[in-house]
Structure formats: structure tokens, C-alpha cells
Chain A
Amino acid sequence: MADTKPVQFTDAAMALVQKIIKRYPEGRQKSALLPVLHIAQAEFGGWLSTETMDYVAGILNIKPIEVYEVASFYTMYNLQPVGKCVLEVCRTGPCWLRGSDDIIQYLEQKLGIKEGETTADGMFTLKTVECLASCGSAPMMQVGNHYIENLSVEKMDEVLNKLKETHNVPSPDYGSPYPVTPGK
């Protein structure tokens, strides 16, 4: 759950952050806030602690409140610790038409948690999300960098077992649009 790593980007992550800041005009480094928060979340255990947000504010030379108000606005940022594997199940109309309710209900029963909660062993967090632009392959869920599509209740056990294998490691991959290690 809560990560014990100090809030300090690795050299590779910091190099990526600096590269991204340069994409915006001088004095507009705040534009890099959303990208840098994605990198921070992936690097520091899948969520943004106050320490992490303050650290990002320092890098971008903006006030911490400017980071908090952004982090709390966008749904992809987790402001609480999450499990090693975050299941984000889409529940909007087109997914619902193809059975997303059944998938959510099955996951809640199988994992013994409600949406928004994390299993006691810290393995899975279950989130419901709004339309992920995967309506043609519904129902579906996102896990890190991947969309797992055309789900069915019958397939769910296999899917969960596979995820347990790939994510039950000391530093699981939470996914990021800006991977520090390309190809991950």
C-alpha cells in the first residue's frame, strides 16, 4: 500500500520531467503539471500524497495549492493509497448495455470489496469510471497502461489470476502516459 520510497525522482525520471517542461514556452512551466503528476503517481506508489504534490510544486516553481486544486479535479489522480493493481471498470451507457453491471457485481463479490475500496491484502483496488472510449469492445476495464476489453463474467477469474501474477511484485507498474522506462 503506502510506498516507503523517499519522494525524490530518480535521475531518469527527473530527466524526463525536464524534457517535458521544455515543451512549453519559458515561464509556462505550469503547463507541465498534469504530465508531471502522472509521472509522480507512477513513480511513488500509484497515488499522490501531500508530500508528493509539494515536491512537484517545488519542481515547477508553483504554489502547493495550485497542485492540490488540479490533483483533486482530475479523476486519474489517486489521492489515497491504492492496491498493487487498480481495476477501473467502465460503467457508462454503452458498457452498461453490454453488461458492465454484471462485471462490477462479480468483482465486488469475488474480491469482497465495494467500488472505491482495496482488498485487505493490498492487492486490488476496485474503481468504477466513466466512458473510456472503448464502447465498441464493451464491457471493459483499464489496468495501468492497458485496456482489457470484451469482458465477460466467465473470463473474469482468468483475468484476475493473470493480473495477480503480473502485479504482485514489490514495485508494480501503475502505468503512465509518460513512461520513464520506454517500452514498459
Chain B
Amino acid sequence: MGRKLLLKDIDVPGIRSFEVYRKQGGYASVEKALKTMTPDAVMEEVKKSGLRGRGGAGFPTGMKWSFLDRKSDKPRYLICNADESEPGTFKDRYLMEYIPHALIEGMIVSSYALGAKASYIYMRGEFRWIFPILEKAIEEARAAGFIGKNILGTDYSLEVYVHSGAGAYICGEETAQIESLEGKRGNPRNKPPFPAVVGLYNCPTVVNNVESIAAVPPIINIGGDEYAKIGVGKSTGTKLISASGHINKPGVYEIELGLPVEEFLYSDEYCGGIWKGRKLKAVIPGGSSVPILPGDLFLKNAKGEPRVMSYESLADGGFASGSMLGSGGFIVMDETACIVRNLWTFARFYHHESCGQCSPCREGTGWMEKVLHRIETGHGKMSDIDLLVDVAKKIEGNTICPLGDAAAWPVASAIRHFREEFEYHIKYPEKVKDPKHFEKEPFVSERNAVVAA
């Protein structure tokens, strides 16, 4: 059983309430930070912890904090990115719904470190029922003196607000989120200037993912050095993984980074293996945007070494034979899954979610969706496969924000690893016209043998 920091009290009855959360030791980090540490000392601990942004990019959180323009006399803002929309990812929702105070506690300590007097939690609008849960948690924390004027009798004052998005994946990108919070369309901004200098209302701003912020209290409680001992190498601490797809036990799991992928996928403590006694075909380990891996290449890297759940190990082999930990959106496909159809749903997603600002993304995502749809429905041509590769290449790196890359990578990796399956779709149009064709007659290529349990 791995160490739990974020979900250790998830099964304690009533943990959603302030009273029970406090009894379990909650808000100790606020007392410690505000009464015994300077804001810079809090930042130093987060730096020492090696915590990396849990939203997907994996950028060191302490370093991101250190970029904040502290010389400016403008107000500073912390925005919590709770716009969880990456397909395959549902960990932030779980945390906010069941242990809302873990986020609120993290917001207070993080805001203190950054010198923010007002902080916003930008939550995707679809989580409608979680808004009252978070607002209640904020009010409870205020009543106990942890939010508001002169917190715990110190000079520090803070307000925390929940703000609603309205259905736009792009608003998970930090500059689009800032635009949206200003009441505009979610069009990402050109960088530089970075939000740390010119962010919300043109003021210095830090945007951090829910899980990153919730990881701050345990870091302050146990110390950055102690936190850094958990995990492996530069992948320190614990990570929430959202497990979905063809597994026996979908759900949110907190793991120590460095857990063997085989254990995560097959042990009953976690995913519990592939459902219906079937074989493993492919895994998307970090949300829809990261490269897909055939089962064998997911379990072991190209050198034949077993992979572990860490930023480095999952990326081992680069884009040729690796993937990314990303947001921890762990999507599993069994032997009957159709790679082309799954990819088409993703292409449709990115086309739908493109903000339309940059032509390579606006036009390219639509083009990829269209070509994939015709291949999937038995109307494809052999030249379509290379056309997809070409379009993906022309989107990648040519857009203001990373949505273009996120749309291109799944297409490029699916064709790299499963080209035979695309060719099969073109060779046997009559068969693939039935969307359930592979459920009846699984496709097996010699290159990517499915992996038995």
C-alpha cells in the first residue's frame, strides 16, 4: 500500500465538513505557514519538494511561483485551474467533491506564499453541483478564521472565490482561462508576456492546477525535503491517477510516483486488470493529448525495461516509443477496441474545442476529423494515412497555445504504432462500416501483439 497524502482521509465519514477535516489535522499548514514562516520560506519548501504541476505539463510549481513579478505594485492573483476537461481526467472533480477543504487549505497557503489578497477557483461550469460544496467550505473556513481579514490574528488577509466556466476545454489553458475570467471568449494570449508578469487584469498572476495546490499543505506539514523523498528521481510525491476504459476497477487512485505500471494496471488495489478477461491492446497514460502506446510498449520501454508511473519513465523513448504522464488520465483499451474510431472521437473533440484563433488548428483539426471519419466509415483512401500525418505535422508547433500539439500528437502516435489497422480499414471498407466490427473480430497485427494478463 503506497503512501497517501491527498486522499488519506477520503473514507473518514463527514470529511467534507470543516469540523471533521479539522479533527483529522486539516488547516495545520495554514497555522504553520502564517504564524511561523515567511511567504518566501513557504515558496522555498515547495521548491525543495520538487512538486511538478499536476495539470499535465509537469512544470515545477515552486519555480513557477518564483517567476511572479514581486517588484510590481499591482495586486497579485492566484487562480486555481479547476477546468478539468482533458478526456480521461476526473481526479480534480473527485478531490473537490469529496475533500473540498484540501483545496481551500492549499489555496490559503499558496496565496500567502504569493502575496495574493484575492484568489479565484476557476471551475468548469458543468460541475454545477460542486459549486455549493466549495462555497460552503469557504464559508466554513471563514467562520473559523482561516479566510477573511487578519487570518489567525496575523496581518494577512485573503478572499477566495469560486468562478464558473461555461463549457470550453481551451479555458484549461492558463491565458485562455484568464481571458475567460475577465468575461471574454477563451482565446489564448500570445506569450510573452507570461501571466507571472501580465496576467489577470494585467496583474502578476499564477495559475495552478487543483491537485498541485492541494499538494502544498502536506508539503508544508512534512517539509519539502521529506516530500521529495517520496517518489522516484525528479518525479516526487504522490499523484492522482484517473483510470478509465476497459478495466475492472475504473476510478481515482493516489499512487506514489515510481509505482510499476504493471502493478497499477493489474493489481486489485488499483485498476484490477482488463475487464471481461480480455487482453490489453493499448494505453493512453496521461489524458487524450498524450501519445497512445501499444500494450507491450506501455508495460516495457523499447529496451525491454519495465516502466513505472513517473514523468521520466512514461516518456522514455521520446515520441518514437514513449508517451507522457500528462494529467494522469489513464485510458485503457482491450483487444476489441478500434484505434481508428477512438482517435476519431478525439479528433472530433479537438475540432470542437479549438478556439478558432490560429488557422493551422482551426482548419487542421477539422480536416483530421473529416479524414478520420471517412477512414472509420469505410470511405478512406490509402493516401489518407499520410495526409493525416502531414496535417498533424503542420499543426504541431504552429499555434499560439498547446491545443494544436494536443490535437496532433494522438494522430501521429496512433498512425506510428497502429498503421496496419488504418490500412485494414481502407482495405476492408465493408467490414469496418459496422462500428462494432472489432468486437466481433478483433484486429491483431504482428507488430503489436495484444498482451495477455
Contact = CB atoms under 8 A, between A and B. Distances in A.
Contacts of B163: 23, 31, 34-35
Contact of A136 (B75, B85, B90, B333): B90
Interface stretch (B141-149, B241-249, B309-317): B241-249
Contacts of B161: 23
A135 B244 contact: yes
A133 B93 contact: yes
Contacts of B93: 133-134
Counting chain B residues whose Cβ lies within 8 A of the other chain, the interface size class is 35 or more
Contacts of B52: none
A136 B250 contact: yes
A69 B243 contact: no
B162 to A, nearest CB: 8
Interface stretch (A6-14, A73-81, A112-120, A156-164): A73-81
Contacts of A96: 341-342, 345
A155 interface: no
Interface string A115-135: 000000000000001111111
B126 A93 contact: no
B123 to A, nearest CB: 8
Contacts of B61: none
A7 B63 CA distance: 49
Interface residues on A, range: 35 or more
A92 interface: yes
Contacts of A38: 125, 164, 166
A175 interface: yes
Given A73-B185, A142-B126, A34 B164 contact: yes
Given A135-B242, A136-B242, A182 B87 contact: no
Interface of B: 75, 84-90, 92-93, 118, 123-129, 131-132, 159, 161, 163-169, 180-186, 201, 242-246, 250-252, 284, 288, 329, 331, 333, 337, 341-342, 345-346, 348-349, 352-353, 355, 435
Interface of A: 23, 25, 28, 30-35, 37-38, 60, 62, 66, 69-70, 73-77, 91-94, 96-98, 101, 129-138, 142, 144-147, 175-179, 182-183
Top 9 closest pairs, chain A to chain B, by CB: A74-B166, A135-B244, A75-B167, A30-B183, A33-B183, A76-B167, A136-B250, A131-B87, A177-B131
